[in-house]
A and B are shown apart, each in its own frame.
Chain A
Amino acid sequence: MTDLFKRLFKVAFAEWKLFYTDPAAVLLLVVAGVLYAFYYPTPYMKQTATDVPVAVVDLDHTVMSRELTQMSAAAQQIDVRYVFSDIREAEQAMAEEKIYGFMVIPKDMEKTLRNGGKTNVNVFTHGAYVMLHGNIGTAFTTCALTVGATTKVKRIALGKKVPAAKAIAMRDPIPISVQTMYNNTGSYSNYVVPSVLVLILQQTLVIGICILGGARAHRKFRKLQRDSSVENELMPYRYFGRSLAYFLHYCSFILFYHFVVYNVFEFPRRGEILPMVAFAIVFLFSVINFGMVLSQVFLRRETSMQLFLYMSIPILFLSNFSWPTELIPAWMKGFSCLLPSTFAIPAWLAIEQRGADIYDAASLLLPLAMQAVFYLLLGLVLTNLRDGSKLKTGDM
Chain B
Amino acid sequence: MFIDFIRAIRKIYISHNIVLWLVLLILPVVTSVFMVNFFSAEIIQHVPIGLLKQDRSQLADKVEMALRADPVLEVAVECHDRSECEHAVIRGDLQAFIVLPYDMERRALRLETPVIPVYSSGQNYLTNTFAVKEIRSVISAIGADLFTKQMDDPIHVELKSVSNNSGNYQGFLGLGLVTALFHLAGILAAVYLFSFPFRDHRVREFLQAAGGSRVVLGAATVLPLVVIQWLSMVAVYAYARRALTPMTFDEFVVVSAGQLAMILACSGAGAAFVGITGNMRMSSSVAGVIAGPAFAFAGQTFPVMAMPLVVRGFAFLLPLTHVLKVQSTMLLGSVGKAHAWESIAILLCMALFWHLLASKLLFLRWKVAIEKEADWEAREKLHLKDKLKNIADAVYSDLSIRKAVASEIAKRKLHKGGKND
Binding site for B on A (CB under 8 A): 23-24, 27-28, 32, 35-36, 39-40, 42-46, 48-50, 52-53, 91-92, 94-97, 100, 113, 117-134, 137-138, 140-141, 144-145, 147-148, 151-152, 155-156, 159, 166, 169-184, 186, 188, 190-192, 300-303, 305-307, 309-314, 317-318, 320-324, 326-329, 332, 346, 349-350, 353-356, 360, 363-364
Contacts and interface: CB of A to CB of B under 8 A. Distances in A.
Given A128-B176, A172-B140, 12 more contacts: A43-B296, A45-B311, A50-B306, A96-B339, A97-B329, A125-B162, A126-B328, A182-B122, A186-B125, A306-B19, A310-B31, A360-B90
A117 B153 CA distance: 9
B339 to A, nearest CB: 6
A24 B282 CA distance: 7
Interface residues of B, number: 128
A126 B59 CA distance: 39
Nearest to A24: B281
B154 A148 contact: yes
Nearest to B153: A148
B416 interface: no
Interface in B326-376: 327-329, 331-332, 335-336, 338-339
A145 B159 CA distance: 12
Given A172-B113, A191-B125, A311-B31, A132 B303 contact: yes
B27 A310 contact: yes
Given A322-B127, A327-B46, A128 B324 contact: yes
Chain B's interface: helix, strand, loop or mixed, by majority?
helix
Interface of B: 19, 22-23, 27-28, 31, 34-35, 37-41, 44-48, 59, 63, 74, 86-87, 89-92, 98, 104, 108-109, 111-129, 132-133, 135-136, 139-140, 142-144, 146-148, 151-164, 167, 169, 171-173, 175-177, 180-181, 184-185, 188, 192, 244, 280-282, 284-285, 287-289, 291-293, 295-297, 299-303, 305-308, 310-311, 315, 324-325, 327-329, 331-332, 335-336, 338-339
Contacts of A100: 303
A39 B173 contact: no
A188 B296 CA distance: 11
Contacts of A301: 281
Contact of B308 (A42, A49, A314, A326): A42
A341 to B, nearest CB: 14
Most buried by B among A131, A148, A320: A131
Contacts of B126: 130, 134, 191, 322
Given A172-B140, A306-B188, A346-B92, A118 B152 contact: yes
A35 B284 contact: no
B311 A42 contact: yes
A170 B111 CA distance: 7
A96 B160 CA distance: 19
B35 A317 contact: yes
A137 B181 CA distance: 29
B163 A310 contact: no
B111 A173 contact: yes
A176 B132 CA distance: 10
A123 B155 CA distance: 13
